[in-house]
Amino acid sequence: MVQTMDNTMGFPILSVLIFLPLAGAALILLMNRANDKAIRVVSLSVSIATFIVSLSLFTGFDKTTHLMQFVERYEWIPSLNMSYYLGLDGISVLFVLLSTLVTILCVLISWESIRTKTKEFFISLLVMEGAMIGVFCSLDFMLFYIFWEAMLIPMYLLIGVWGGPNRVYAAVKFFLYTLVGSVLMLVGIIVLYFYAGRTFDILELMTKAYPYKMQLMLFWAFFAAFAVKVPMFPVHTWLPDAHTEAPTAGSVILAAVLIKMGAYGFLRFSMPLLPDASRAMTPVMLTLSVIAIIYGGIICLAQTDLKRLIAYSSVSHMGFVTLGIFALNTQGVEGGILQMLNHGVVTGALFLSVGVIYDRTHTRVIADYGGVASVMPIYASLFMVFTFASVGLPATNGFIGEFLILLGGFKANQWAGVLAASGIIIGAGYMLWLYQRVFFMETSPKVAGLQDMNMRELLTLLPMVVLVFWIGIYPNVFLSFMHPSVQHLLERVNGGSAPAVAANIATQILR
Amino acid sequence: MPIAMPNLAPVMPEIVMTCLAILLLMADLVIRQKDTLGLISIISAGIVLYLVLGSSGETFAGMFISDGYSMFFKLIFLANLILTVLISSRYLQIMRINFGEYYALMMFATLGMMLMASAADIIVLYLGLELMALSTYVLAGFIRYDMRSNEAAIKYLLLGAFASAILLYGTSMIYGLTGTTNLKGIAAYIMNNNIAGNPVLMLSMVFFAVAFSFKIAAVPFHMWAPDAYEGAPTPITAFMSVGPKAAGFAVLGRIFLTAFASVRADWSMVLIPIAVLTMAIGNIVALSQTNIKRMLAYSSIAHAGYMLLGIISGTPAGLSSVLNYMLIYALMNVGAFAVVIMLRSEGFAGENISDYEGLSKTHPTAAALMLIFMFSLTGIPPMAGFMGKFYLFMSAINAGYTSLVVVAVLFSAISAYFYLRIVMLMYMKEPRESVQLNTSPGLGLALAMTAVAVILIGVLPGKVLALAQMAVASF
- pLDDT per residue as tens digits for the range A57-76: 888 888 888 888 888 899 88
Binary contact (A175, B462; C-beta < 8 A)? no
Q: Long-range contacts for A36-42 (Cβ within 8 Å, ≥24 apart)?
A: A36/A118, A39/A118, A39/A119, A39/A122, A40/A107, A40/A111, A40/A118, A40/A122, A42/A122
pLDDT-derived band at A21 (thresholds 50, 70, 90) equals very high
Number of domains forming the structure of chain A: 1
- pLDDT per residue as tens digits for the range A211-238: 899 999 999 999 999 999 988 988 899 9
Q: Is residue A373 part of a domain?
A: yes
ipTM value of the model? Answer: 0.90
Distance CA B95, CA B135 (A): 20
Where do runs of H (alpha helix) occur along A362-454? 372-375, 377-391, 397-412, 414-439
CB contacts, 8 Å: B460 with chain A: 76
Is residue A302 classed exposed, middle or buried when 0-12, 13-18 and 19+ CB atoms within 10 A define those classes? exposed
Q: Please, what sign has the CA dihedral across residues B48, B49, B54, B55? A: positive
pLDDT at res. A494: 84
- pLDDT per residue as tens digits for the range B74-107: 999 999 999 999 999 888 888 888 888 899 999 9
Distance CA A39, CA A26 (A): 11
- pLDDT per residue as tens digits for the range B279-298: 999 999 999 999 999 999 99
- Domain residues for the domain of A393 are 281-511
Which 8-state DSSP code applies to residue B435?
A: P
Where do runs of H (alpha helix) occur along B363-429? 364-378, 384-398, 402-428
Is residue A502 classed exposed, middle or buried when 0-12, 13-18 and 19+ CB atoms within 10 A define those classes? exposed
Per-position DSSP letters for A268-281, written without gaps between them: IIIHHHSHHHHHHT
pLDDT-derived band at B156 (thresholds 50, 70, 90) equals very high
If residue B59 lies in a helix (H) or strand (E), which one and from where to where? strand B57-59
The answer for A 4-63 residues in CB contact with B (under 8 A) is 33
pLDDT at res. A337: 93
pLDDT-derived band at B7 (thresholds 50, 70, 90) equals confident
* C-beta separation of A111 from A91 below 8 A: no
Q: Is residue A254 part of a domain?
A: no
If residue A83 lies in a helix (H) or strand (E), which one and from where to where? strand A82-88
Q: Residue ranges of the domains in chain B?
A: 12-473
CA A328 to chain centre: 20
Q: For residue B278, is pLDDT > 50?
A: yes
Binary contact (A183, B409; C-beta < 8 A)? yes
A259: nearest Cα among A275, A245, A283, A243: A243
Q: Is residue A196 part of a domain?
A: no
pLDDT at res. B197: 80
- pLDDT per residue as tens digits for the range A284-303: 999 999 999 999 999 999 99
Residue B406 at interface with chain A, using a CB cutoff of 8 Å: yes
Express as a percent the part of chain B with pLDDT over 70.
Answer: 100
CA B341 to chain centre: 19
Mean pLDDT confidence for A347-363: 89
Q: For residue A498, is pLDDT > 50?
A: no
pLDDT-derived band at B1 (thresholds 50, 70, 90) equals low
* C-beta separation of A385 from A467 below 8 A: no
Distance CA A69, CA A71 (A): 5
CA dihedral A480, A21, B448, B453 (to 10 degrees): 20
Find the CB nearest B413 among A33, A168, A180: A180
Neighbour tally for A451: CB within 10 Å = 10
Distance CA B67, CA B59 (A): 12
Q: Is residue A32 part of a domain?
A: no
Residue B356 at interface with chain A, using a CB cutoff of 8 Å: no
Q: For residue B245, is pLDDT > 80?
A: yes
Q: Is residue A232 part of a domain?
A: no
- pLDDT per residue as tens digits for the range B246-274: 999 999 999 998 888 888 888 888 899 99
Q: Best mutation site among A156, A159, A192 for testing chain B: the one with the most B CBs within 10 Å?
A: A156
Residue B62's SS3 state is coil
* C-beta separation of A188 from A218 below 8 A: yes
Q: Tell me the average pLDDT of chain B.
A: 91
Distance, in angstroms, between A405 CA and closest chain B CA?
A: 36
Q: How far is CA A411 from CA A3, A316, A327, A405, A501, in A?
A: 31, 20, 8, 10, 11
